A = this chain, B = another copy of it.
């Protein structure tokens, strides 16, 4: 994936004197608190939201981490 903001930031880091940056990627992090009947329902709903609403699959990769709030 292209990441022009990440590339520009890597160059700016070197100008700030931090020369050891090998790689710098800027992405989005989305935190969702979701009430659902069970874990499978929650996962299906989050897959739907990620595909249809949260990510643009043409230009973005995404991954999902699920944790139980109890």
Contact = CB atoms under 8 A, between A and B. Distances in A.
Interface of A: 6, 9, 12-13, 16, 18, 20-36, 42, 45, 48-49, 52-54
B21 A53 contact: no
A53 B16 CA distance: 9
Contacts of A30: 6, 9, 24-27
B35 A24 contact: no
Contacts of A33: 21-24
Given A16-B48, A49-B13, A53-B9, A28 B25 contact: no
Contacts of A35: 20-22
A25 B29 CA distance: 8
